[in-house]
Amino acid sequence: MSLQRFFCLGIIICCLISCSASKKVQHSEVSFEEGIPQIKHLVVIYMENHSFDNLYGEFEGANGLDNARKGNFIQVDKDGTAYQYLPEITRNSSFPTNLPNQLFNIDQYVTSDKKTPDAVHRFFHNQLQINGGKMDKFAAYNFSKGLAMGYYNTKKLPLYPIAKEYTLCDNFFQSVFGGSYINHVYLISAAIPVWHDAPESMIARIDASGNLIKDGEVTADGYVVNQINSRNSPYPKNSDTNKLLPAQTMVTIGDKMSEKGISWAWYSEGWDDAVAGRENNFAYNHEPFLYFAQYKEGTEGRKHLKDQNDFIKAAKEGTLPSLSFVKPGVGNDEHPGSSAVYPSEQLAVNLINEVLQGPNGKDALVILTYDEYGGFFDHVNPPKIDRWGPGTRIPAILIGPFAKKRFIDSTPYESVSILSFIEHRWGIEPLAGRDKNANPFRNGLIFK
C-alpha cells in the first residue's frame, strides 16, 4: 500500500469514528419536550419559611452571602435611618443585644437543632421589607427585629449533601409576597382568593401614597392575601367561623389532573388526626385544596387529600400517584417558632430517600422547596411581574435521575414553575398568565 493510500484510508477511518461518536452525542440527550414524558412521578416536598441567603448563602458557587456582603444592604429603620446595631432580637435571650448591622451566623447563638423565634412574613410587610429593591427594611418591619439578618451554616444542613449532588436553583422566588396560606393556594391555582363581603375588621387600609395604615387579611378590593383558615372542615377548635374564608371556586391543578384521569394527591402530616378531631400537628393553613368547594367534606375531590403516612406507604410499595404534594406538619416543617431546622430537614431527607430508594425512584423527579421566606433577609431584588409578586428568593432543589448532577441553576424560576412543569408534563392548559409564562425547569433537567 502506498503512503498516499494509507493516509487516505486513515482519514476515512477517523471520519467514520468521528461520525459514530457524533451520532452517540446526538442521541445521548433529548430535548425537554421529548424527554419530559420519561418522568412518571413528580413529588413536591413543600417546606416552610426560609430565604435562600438564610439557608444556602454559603453554598459554593451560588449567588449567596459573598455577593450580599458586596452590596449596600445596611438595615434602616422605618424612617430610613441606619441602625447602629441590629435592633434587639425579641423572644430569645440567647442573642446579643449589640449585633453589628450586618449578616450574622445564627448557629453561634442558637444551633440548628433548636428553635428560633418566628419572624414577620405578611403580604404588605414583605413589600415594605424589600423597600423598592433596596432590601434594607427586613429588621424594621419585623417583630423579631435583627433575627431577619441571620443565616445558617450551609454545610451543616442535612439537605446540603443532596443539594450538592443534584441541582440547586439559586434564582427561584416565591410567587406571591407574604406568607404561607397565600403561597400554598397560588401554587395549585395561580389565583388569589376573593371575599368581597369580608368583615370590616379584616380589611387592610392603604393611603394614597401606598403606605400601610392598617394591616389586615383582605385588601380593600376583596382579595384575601394574609393568614386565614378555611370555613371548610377541619379547622381549629374554637374558631370564629365568621372570620373563616368561604369556599373558593377557582380552577385548581387538581381539577385539571382529575379531568384527564391522572392520579394525584396532597399528603399532609396530621391530616387523619385533624379529620377525626384528635390532637394533631396538622397545619390548617398549609392544605390549599381545603380552601376550595371541590374538596370540602362529602365531595368526590376529598379522596385526594391524604395523610403523610399514606405517602410513605405508597413510596415504599411503588404505588405513588403521578403527582404527589407532601407537607410535613407543625414541628417538622422548618417553620421558625414551632420547628427547628435540623430535625425538620432530617425528615425531608427521609422522605426523599423513600422515593429514590423505592420502586418509583427510577422515573421520579423530586422538587423540594419552601412556601416562602419566613421574614428572613435575602439580597436579590425579586423581579416585578404583577401586583402579587414575586416575593423574596427561596431555595429549591431538583432531585433524582432527571436532575442535572452537581449543578447550580441560575435560571429565573418561581413557585408556579412547578405548576408550569405539571402542565407541560401532562398536557394541561395553563391556569393563568403567571404559570403560562413561568419556566418549567428546562435548564435544571436532563433527558437521554
Please write down the HEC assignment for all residues of 182-220.
HHHHHHHHCCCCECCCCCHHHECEECCCCCEEECCCECC
Burial of 19 (0-12, 13-18, 19+ CB in 10 A): exposed
Q: Beta-carbon neighbour count of residue 62 at 10 Å?
A: 23
Q: Does domain 40-59+153-190+244-437 have CATH number 3.40.720.10?
A: yes
pLDDT in tens, 243-287: 999 999 999 999 999 999 999 999 999 999 999 999 999 999 999
Output the CA angle 343-344-347, nearest 5 degrees: 90
Tell whether pTM > 0.85. yes
Instruction: Break the chain into its structural domains and give their ranges.
Output: 40-59+153-190+244-437
CB 416 within 8 A of CB 186: yes
Output the CA angle 237-240-241, nearest 5 degrees: 95
Q: How many H helices and E strands in the chain?
A: 13, 14
Count of alpha carbons within 13 Å of 390, Cβ hemisphere only?
A: 26
What separation in angstroms does the CA of 53 have from each of 76, 127, 153?
Answer: 19, 18, 10
Q: What is the pLDDT of residue 20?
A: 41
CA distance 176 to 388: 5
What separation in angstroms does the CA of 285 have from each of 45, 173, 177, 183, 275?
Answer: 16, 20, 16, 10, 14
Q: What is the pLDDT of residue 22?
A: 38
pLDDT above 90: percentage of residues in the chain? 92
pLDDT in tens, 390-412: 999 999 999 999 999 999 999 99
Q: Which residues pair with 248 in a beta bridge?
A: 292
Output the CA angle 394-125-217, nearest 5 degrees: 105
Could you read off the pLDDT tens digit of each residue along the chain, which spans 448 residues?
443 444 444 444 444 444 444 333 344 689 999 999 999 999 999 999 999 999 999 999 999 999 999 998 999 999 999 999 999 998 888 999 999 999 999 999 999 999 999 999 999 999 999 999 999 999 999 999 999 999 999 999 999 999 999 999 999 999 999 999 999 999 999 999 999 999 999 999 999 888 899 999 999 999 999 999 999 999 999 999 999 999 999 999 999 999 999 999 999 999 999 999 999 999 999 999 999 999 999 999 999 999 999 999 999 999 999 999 999 999 999 999 999 999 999 999 999 999 999 999 999 999 999 999 999 999 999 999 999 999 999 999 999 999 999 999 999 999 999 999 999 999 999 999 999 999 999 999 999 9
CB 401 within 8 A of CB 446: no
Closest of 376, 336, 337, 380 to residue 146, by C-alpha: 376
Closest of 317, 349, 315 to residue 332, by C-alpha: 349
Closest of 398, 363, 368, 392 to residue 380, by C-alpha: 392
Closest of 267, 320, 223 to residue 45, by C-alpha: 267
